[in-house]
């Protein structure tokens, strides 16, 4: 086997990759949430944002992005979509530099309707793990975050 072929071997190009495995698991979980949320017209990736706005309103784009550890411009566009959907709106109280968002009545109602659904999926998730396993998983996730 040539050196080149060795580099292309399964061993070299596809060792068990912890990140791929984590991404795949997350992917399937996200899909489960998405399917459960579909009748409500909200996506799984929007739900944490809606919750964060609900808890912290009035809140700036930057604050939401920081809290959810997401990129700022991404959050900016997500909030635009959510505003278009009528779940949140701009708060006119905001000062010149920043933009503040608050929950609308429609957004509040959506949360109320969807929380039980969210609970159901979480229940399914949690039933896959014991309490100890859950704690351990969170610990390991935190350890991994440290490499950044």
Q: Where are the beta strands (DSSP E) in 7-142?
A: 59-60, 88-91, 100-103
Calpha distance 20→60 (Å, rounded): 33
Q: Any contact of residue 25 with a second copy (CB under 8 A)?
A: yes
Nearest Cα to Cα of residue 51 among 33, 39, 35: 33
Name which position in 31, 38, 62, 72 contacts a second copy (CB under 8 A): 31
16 binds, among a second copy, DNA, none (CB under 5 to 8 A by kind): a second copy
Q: Smallest gap, in angstroms, from Cβ of residue 106 to DNA?
A: 15
Task: Let me know: does 30 contact 44? Beta carbons within 8 Å.
Answer: yes
Within 62-101, the residues that bind a second copy by CB under 8 A are 69
Name which position in 2, 16, 84, 93 contacts a second copy (CB under 8 A): 16
Q: Smallest gap, in angstroms, from Cβ of residue 134 to DNA?
A: 23
34 binds, among DNA, a second copy, none (CB under 5 to 8 A by kind): DNA
Smaller CB separation from DNA, 80 or 146: 80
Let me know if 19 is exposed, middle or buried by CB neighbors in 10 A (0-12, 13-18, 19+). Answer: exposed
Calpha distance 45→60 (Å, rounded): 18
Q: Any contact of residue 1 with a second copy (CB under 8 A)?
A: no
């Amino acid at each position: 086997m040539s050196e080149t072929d060795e580099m292309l071997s399964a061993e070299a190009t596809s060792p068990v990759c912890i990140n791929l495995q984590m991404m795949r698991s997350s992917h399937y979980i996200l899909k489960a949430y998405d399917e459960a949320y579909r009748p409500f017209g909200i996506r799984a990736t929007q739900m944490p944002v809606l919750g964060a706005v609900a808890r912290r309103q009035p809140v700036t784009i930057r604050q939401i992005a920081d809290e959810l550890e997401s990129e700022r411009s991404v959050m900016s566009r997500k909030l635009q979509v959510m505003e278009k959907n009528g779940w949140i709106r701009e708060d006119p109280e905001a000062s010149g530099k920043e933009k503040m968002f608050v929950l609308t009545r429609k957004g509040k109602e959506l949360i109320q309707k969807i929380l039980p659904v969210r609970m159901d999926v979480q229940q399914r998730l949690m039933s896959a793990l014991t309490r100890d396993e859950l704690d351990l998983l969170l610990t390991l996730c935190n350890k991994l975050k440290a490499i950044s």
